[in-house]
Amino acid sequence: MSIETFEQVDGRRVIASDSADTIGHVKGFVLDSAGRQIEAIHVDGRGKHALVIDWATVTAFGPDAVMVPSESDRATVADDHQQSAVVGDVAMVGSRVLGVDGRGAGKVVDAEFDTKTGAIVRVITDEGPIDARRVSSLGSYALVVGLEEAPA
């Protein structure tokens, strides 16, 4: 398992294996609404013209480049959920953190993910790291997290 952070991979080249062309750069991520899994990578364009690549089509998320089979794997945003992610309405980094008890817990500054699976491992906030298993949801208002287990 190889772990990297959103900040570390920001701007990394995205390369099509069939043509060896650079077809974009990592600009951001579309996460599932549970906030635990990368669904797609935003690689080029903005707003309505944003191009994303489904995580499932990525053949390797390498230390120097993200490999995908072909340029044709890029697509415009498929739905409102992807749209709200690429325009930044729903974004992990910068999101407010809210406990299920209705108490604010800082802001997200970065997130660690598994480059093999795209699973979020830890969320880094300005008040400390949060295990991704505590995350309930990521929406336009907040990243909602469950309470910390009381130490045994």
Partner 1 sequence: MNLMRAGDVSGLPVVSIESGEDVAEVRDVVYDGEAHRLVGFTLNKRGFFAGRMKSVLGDDSVAAIGPDAVMIESASAIEEQGAGPEPLNHLGAARLVLGNRVLSADGSDLGEVVAVILSTGERPEAVGYELKSPSHADTSFVPISAQMALSAKNLIVPVEATQFIRGDLAGFGAAIASYRSDELEQQP
Stretch that binds partner 1, among 5-13, 16-24, 49-57, 132-140 (CB under 8 A): 132-140
In the complex, least distance from residue 105 CB atom to partner 1, rounded to whole angstroms = 9
| In the complex, minimum distance from the CB of residue 138 to partner 1, in angstroms, rounded to a whole number | 5
Binding residues with partner 1: total (CB under 8 A): 19
Shortest Å, Cβ 69 to partner 1: 33
**39 in the Ramachandran plot: left (φ > 0), alpha (ψ -120 to 50) or beta?**
alpha
7 phi and psi, to 5 degrees?
-65, -40
The neighbour count for residue 15, using CB atoms within 10 Å, is 19
If the CB atoms of residues 141 and 148 are measured against partner 1, the closer one turns out to be 141
Provide the strand spans (E) within 26-95: 28-31, 38-44, 51-54, 60-61, 65-68, 75-76
Which 90-129 positions form the footprint of partner 1 (CB under 8 A)? 90, 98-104
Rg for the chain (alpha carbons), in Å?
16
Where do contacts with partner 1 occur on this chain (CB under 8 A)?
A: 33, 35, 90, 98-104, 136-144
